[in-house]
Structure 1
């Protein structure tokens, strides 16, 4: 692992590498961003969005928090979501969880975790909504993995509930919402293939914010 001072040397080497192949790299980088993707992922240090997607600077707008939550009272994620939809006009919104997620595992433990309690309660609510399915899984590791997946689906649904997403999709036909899980053991991205259009249609009775 690099020392603090080595990070600056790594930065100099990175600059040299980029300018060696493209002398205008940083001039181009300084221009306005125009990403097609908003990626909402976990803060886990082992999961990096651009690297695993094979994309470069300017191609992905990224927000990360513990256990990749989309909480409607979290001004941080709501600000990112609204900016990405209304100003960057992203075409795809991806919620990406990962197996072996510490936040999800912590939420499965019946213990007081202090300041983490209100944050993890969102995941515990996911467990409560899907308790019958999860309790039927006898293998604890498989139950844990399934909760990771269900948490992603619920966070995707939370995005679909927002006015910004609904209005943009009605007017423009985008963005679409996707749910992924990154498998740390294999490096593969697992597409949960959520039925975005069906979820959008089903929630309209309660969460329709488009005046139509």
Structure 2
């Protein structure tokens, strides 16, 4: 039997789900949202967006801005592999400019997570060296960071090392972000606050990362 084709609690869709399944799920979600927040769509979302936060996270399917307890309309989102902030990438840079200059968010959240596939791939040279060409190039800064920091973590077990590598990566992305002229200007003028956080996939809880 194809295990990917069978629904697994608490998930609603599977690899074999059809378009009708997606549409049906959406109808249930929309109905539930309207019952809980009757004016959200009609009085708020239908009249434009005014987000307060840009959320920069990993593309991992196990977390997103919803872990902050927010509703649609509160958070603009950028998700990349390994929550990597690549200043040479037009998507990343245009997202920063759009959210800060035009949407006027006053907070940016950089949130990494435990059990990160990008971190684990870069921590194993055999895996990293056999990645597809684009991923190998894209993850090189994270791979370099892990190779630099690895000697400091020799006394930790593998689970603790992976978590610490994720924390180091959050700090690296923070440094990259704060060196971007636009972000630096907004920080200096106190128009922007940056929060650095780690999401724990085994509890759903977030913890602050001091940069």
TM-score range, shorter chain: 0.7 to 0.9
Quote the residue 1:16 is aligned against: 31
Alpha carbons of 1:21 and 1:46: their partners in 2 closer, same or farther (altered >3 Å)?
closer
How many residues are paired up?
191
Alpha carbons of 1:99 and 1:175: their partners in 2 closer, same or farther (altered >3 Å)?
same
The two structures, once aligned, show a CA RMSD in angstroms of: 1.7
Residue 17 of structure 1 deviates from its aligned partner by 2.5
Deviations 1:73-123 (A, max 9, x none): 111111111111111221111111110001110111113212210111020
Q: Which runs of 5+ in 1 are unaligned?
A: 195-212
Q: Secondary structure at the match of 2:115?
A: coil
Quote the residue 1:32 is aligned against: 48
Quote the residue 2:10 is aligned against: none
Distance across 2 between alignment mates of 1:25 and 1:142: 41
Residue 184 of structure 1 deviates from its aligned partner by 0.9
Report the TM-score, using the length of structure 1 for normalisation.
Answer: 0.83
Q: Which runs of 5+ in 2 are unaligned?
A: 1-6, 8-12
Residue 69 of structure 1 deviates from its aligned partner by 0.4
The one of 196, 203, 210 aligned to 1:186: 203
1:153 aligns with 2:171: yes
1:48 aligns with 2:67: no
Quote the residue 2:142 is aligned against: 123
Report the TM-score, using the length of structure 2 for normalisation.
Answer: 0.83
Quote the residue 1:99 is aligned against: 114
Q: Secondary structure at the match of 1:33?
A: coil
Moved more, 143-152 or 24-33: 24-33
* Contact persistence 1:105–1:144 (CA under 8 A): yes
